[in-house]
Structure 1
Amino acid sequence: MDDSSYDRTIAELVINAVVPTFSADEARNIAALPLLDLGALSRDGSMVYGIATLDGGGRASERLITRLLGWQPGQSLDFARVADVIVARRHPSGAFRVPGNTLVTIPAAMRHWCGLSPGDRVLLAAAPEQGVLLIHTMAALDRMVVRHNTELAENAQS
């Protein structure tokens, strides 16, 4: 066996071990996660906020948020990207689990998408009644603050 055949065989073994394969019938039975309507989140002051620093594993040291959301170790979570926000929520078909330490752990793919690195800070915005966590980068928070203050200034001038 030459080196290229050996490399191909090793790659196939790794891919087959990591990427699940489904028959057409099995694939049809996998439930799609429902979309979340962010506009339906509470606007009555019940949102809870925290700013946390990410460690090397994508964990945000903010346990109050997970406690208020009622997240327990081992529960399934769904993470999704909605515009420039990472949305996390409990979902029976979620691919991720609440870790034993109940810290908010942002999956690597989501961290990569947002350009988050260890030491970066994020805004955690929890809607406990809906069981939803919104995760914003500091750049997104900057944009929100600038937009809000621009609107205030424009309204004050009119």
Structure 2
Amino acid sequence: MTSIVPALVPASPADAASGQAASRRPVRGPLPLPTFADRRTRQTVYALPAIDCNGRLADQAIVRVMGWKPGTRYAIQEHGGLLVVDANPRGVFTVTRQGHLYIPAVVRRRCAISPADRLLIAAEPEERRLVIHPPAALDVMIGDRHRAVLGGDAT
């Protein structure tokens, strides 16, 4: 729902000098503020790190919030263009000594991830998983949201 905010017209210099401006202006309450229907209901922690040419994500804060230490084994699965990463003792990959995650080349190619791309990482400690959103997945999600909110073609 769109709310129209009435235009604010400043008093003329003559009105301001005579003190008449305040008495002629209608009394209005505070300007309306937008309300957000989508209140936060989760404790997700977000990061937007760049991936390097070797497939490393150098965001140690995300690894820390998950409680993962260097050497923690993890698995990566692709679901609908998103990468789901969870600690798994039988996982093929391990958190590096520097606390970085590694995304293998075959996964990067499949998800069209290039060096220096920024990936949205959503850390969900309660679910014990990370969800990585490659740029192509972000384009789809943001385009869908823009069309839903703004209407029409969001491109």
2:146 aligned with 1:153: no
Runs ≥4 residues deviating over 2 A: none
Paired residue for 1:96? 93
1:141 is aligned to 138
Residue from 77, 81, 95 that aligns with 2:74: 77
Task: Identify unmatched segments of 5+ residues in structure 1.
Answer: 1-42
Q: Tell me the equivalent position of 1:119.
A: 116
2:126 is the counterpart of 1:129? yes
Name the SS of the counterpart of 1:71 in structure 2: coil
8 A contact 2:69–2:99 mirrored in 1: yes
Structure label with greater radius of gyration: 2
SS in 1 for 2:108: helix
Does the residue aligned with 1:87 lie in a helix, a strand or coil? strand
* Native 8 Å contact 2:55 2:102 kept in 1: yes
Paired residue secondary structure (1:124): strand
After superposition, the CA RMSD in angstroms is 1.4
d(CA) in 2 for partners of 1:45, 1:94 = 27
Give the Cα separation in 1 of the matches to 2:147 and 2:115. Answer: 31
Which structure carries more helix by proportion?
Answer: 1
TM-score of the pair, normalised by structure 1 = 0.66
- Give secondary structure in 1 for the equivalent of 2:115: coil
Give the TM-score normalised by structure 2: 0.67
Residue by residue over 1:47-81, the C-alpha shift from the partner in whole angstroms, topping out at 9 and shown as x without a partner, is 11111111111111211111001111111101111
Which amino acid counterpart does residue 49 of structure 1 have in structure 2?
Y
In structure 2, the gaps of 5 or more residues are 1-39
> Does the aligned pair in 1 maintain the 2:122–2:131 contact within 8 Å?
yes
The alignment covers a number of residue pairs equal to 112
Partner of 2:55: 58
Alignment deviations for residues 6-54 of structure 1 (CA, whole Å, 9 cap, x no partner): xxxxxxxxxxxxxxxxxxxxxxxxxxxxxxxxxxxxx723111111111
Cα distance in 2 for partners of 1:115, 1:152 equals: 28
Q: Please tell me the residue identity of whatever aligns with 2:50.
A: T
**Deviation, structure 1 residue 152:** 2.0
